[in-house]
Amino acid sequence: MALGGFANITKVPELRKRILFTLGMLAVYRIGVFITAPGVDRTAMRAAVQKSGGLLGMFNLFSGGALENYSIFALGIMPYVSSSIILQLMGMVYKPIDELRKEGEQGRRKIDQYTRYGTIMLSAFQAFGIAMYLEGLNNQEMSAGKYGDVVAHPGWGFRLMTIITLTTGTAFIMWVGEQITERGISNGISLIIMAGIVTDIPGTIGNYLAQNKGNVQPLNIGAVSGLILLTIATIVFFERGQRKIPIIYSRRNVGRRVYGGQTAHLPLKVNTAGTIPPIFASSLLMFPATLANLHVPGMQYIEGIIQRGDWVFNTGYVLLIVFFCYFYTAVTFQAVDVADNLKKQQANIPGIRPGKQTAEYIDRVLTRITLPGAIFLALISVLPDFLIRWFNVPFYFGGTSLLIVVGVALDTVRQMESHLLMRNYEGFLRKKARAQA
């Protein structure tokens, strides 16, 4: 990457404004993380979240610590992500949603509106669940005594106030994400998740140094840092990895001009599913621990079998990630639709007949390249457990978190570079590398 590319950012006023707007909106989001919602003892809430782990720990990670602070943004942006995934899955079984998806920009706006409605409903449901969970934590035993009165005045007044406060907070975060997408850089929702993860890194490093005063092991730190850098390089390699299927456009006469006869390619990503499979897999495996904390009968026994770090958890984690990679790829990438679009554009794959055979060929190629992508996601996701075991690292190094951070960073760099290239500025890649591409 050329340093001159970053210097060109200041030469494009529109790009500079977009970057400043993005940073400003992210700052507003981070300020809101520290605004405590009423009705809960913040110290007791932090102790409860840190002890319970499970889904609460994952939500706390993606919300940037907002849940353990019982912030107005405690739910984070996860209800929006869940609503988006539900709408995508409904497109497979509910024909009206599938038809909207094919209507282009107008259909996309309608689906976005349904996603917002779903976000509000999921937020209200999750906020009610959190309110009931917090009321149940009052005076419960923990390792060093009791939580104390987590909720000062339990009852329907607290529940309604929690639903209104947390739902409003999620709706505001959703609006901030949409504003960043429209007037800032890259996907706003992804940047908000990334900001929540990145801001936790300094505190994690500080806790490690505080716990190991006078006993910091440079070799372990160097080995872990080297593995992290190697992991980042591997993520970049697979995130940018593509299988390019050659396409030839047929010649056609329009008046006196001849169009077509050009060659192009259809890019198929090795990791089409992104970070969704690890999130789905970890949610399913952490669900018994969350139910056990709610004293659901039988869940404590299942929690004892599925312990993070043991071979049962890791084996199930890997298998679920591979399954969700294929499942989510099949949901989001429709080979039949791609084949129909190629046929309408009078394009074909050399040696493959248009229509059904093209769809079968694309599906066969995608199935083959999804396997290494699934194995890659599984290895990155289970890496933290091995780091803890081999190097006795006292903080949890999240492979899924690193996947999100690197993926969003790559997408943001691509968006910034596209703005530079549109105005005839050299981007972040060197000219030699661009010429070879």
Give all domains of the chain, ordered by start, each with its CATH number.
Answer: 1-212+404-437 (1.10.3370.10), 215-393 (1.10.3370.10)
* Lowest mean pLDDT, pick from 4-18, 43-57, 366-380: 43-57
For 96, other C-beta atoms within 10 Å of its C-beta total 10
pLDDT at residue number 172: 94
Q: Is the pLDDT of residue 397 over 90?
A: no
**CA dist., res. 334 & res. 404, Å (int):** 24
**CA dist., res. 250 & res. 261, Å (int):** 5
Q: Which of the pair, 359 or 48, is modelled with greater confidence? A: 359
Q: Contact at 8 Å (CB) between 73 and 193?
A: no
Q: Is the pLDDT of residue 204 over 80?
A: no
* Lowest mean pLDDT, pick from 80-94, 182-196, 286-300, 350-364: 286-300
pLDDT at residue number 67: 75
Q: Which two tokens stand for residue 245?
A: 């299927």
Tell me the residue type at 268: L
Measure CA 280 to chain center: 11
Residue 120 pLDDT class (50, 70, 90 cuts): very high
Per mean pLDDT, which of 221-235, 259-273, 368-382 is the most reliable? Answer: 368-382
**CA dist., res. 158 & res. 40, Å (int):** 9
Q: Contact at 8 Å (CB) between 77 and 66?
A: no
Separation in Å, CA 412 to CA 5, 112, 141, 356, 408:
14, 22, 46, 37, 6
User: Which residues partner with 145 through β-bridges?
Assistant: 142
Tell me the per-residue pLDDT of 282-299, one tens digit each, with 9 for 90 and over: 777 777 766 665 666 776
Q: Is the pLDDT of residue 28 over 70?
A: yes
pLDDT at residue number 227: 78
Q: Is the pLDDT of residue 338 over 50?
A: yes
* Lowest mean pLDDT, pick from 14-28, 91-105, 290-304, 318-332: 290-304
Residue 24 pLDDT class (50, 70, 90 cuts): very high
Helix/strand/coil for 132: helix
pLDDT at residue number 340: 87
Separation in Å, CA 370 to CA 243, 274, 280, 429:
11, 11, 17, 28
Q: Is the pLDDT of residue 32 over 50?
A: yes
**CA dist., res. 300 & res. 294, Å (int):** 10
**CA dist., res. 24 & res. 16, Å (int):** 12
pLDDT at residue number 116: 92
Q: Which residues of 38-53 are buried (b: 16+ CB within 10 A; e: fewer)?
A: ebbbeebbbbbbebbb
Q: Is the pLDDT of residue 344 over 90?
A: no
**CA proximity to 97, closest of 117, 114, 81:** 114
Tell me the residue type at 168: T
**CA dist., res. 66 & res. 35, Å (int):** 9
pLDDT at residue number 343: 84
- The beta-carbon contacts of 278-282 under 8 Å, at least 24 apart in sequence, are 278/321, 278/377, 278/380, 278/381, 278/399, 278/400, 278/403, 279/58, 279/400, 280/320, 280/324, 280/328, 281/316, 281/317, 281/320, 281/321, 281/324, 281/381, 282/58, 282/317, 282/381, 282/400
Residue 143 pLDDT class (50, 70, 90 cuts): very low
Q: Is the pLDDT of residue 42 over 80?
A: no
Q: Is the pLDDT of residue 132 over 90?
A: no
Average pLDDT of the residues in 224-230:
79
Q: Which two tokens stand for residue 287?
A: 């669900």
Strand 347-348 to 252-254 pairing: unpaired
Per mean pLDDT, which of 182-186, 357-361, 386-390 is the most reliable? Answer: 357-361
Q: Is the pLDDT of residue 202 over 90?
A: no
User: Which residues partner with 245 through β-bridges?
Assistant: 266
* Contacts of 151 by beta carbon, 8 Å cutoff, 6+ apart: 39, 40, 41, 134, 135, 137, 138, 158
Count of helices and strands (H, E) across the chain = 18, 7
Percent of the chain with pLDDT over 90: 8
Q: Is the pLDDT of residue 195 over 80?
A: yes
Q: Is the pLDDT of residue 436 over 50?
A: no
Q: Is the pLDDT of residue 137 over 50?
A: yes
Q: What is the pTM of this model?
A: 0.76
* Dihedral class, residue 262 (left if φ above 0, else alpha if ψ from -120 to 50, else beta): beta
> At what angle are helices 188-198 and 78-93 packed, to 10 degrees?
140
Tell me the per-residue pLDDT of 148-182, one tens digit each, with 9 for 90 and over: 567 778 888 888 998 999 999 999 999 999 999 88
Tell me the residue type at 247: I
Q: Which two tokens stand for residue 53?
A: 């782990």
What is the average pLDDT score of the chain? 77
Residue 62 pLDDT class (50, 70, 90 cuts): low
* Lowest mean pLDDT, pick from 191-205, 227-241, 318-332: 191-205
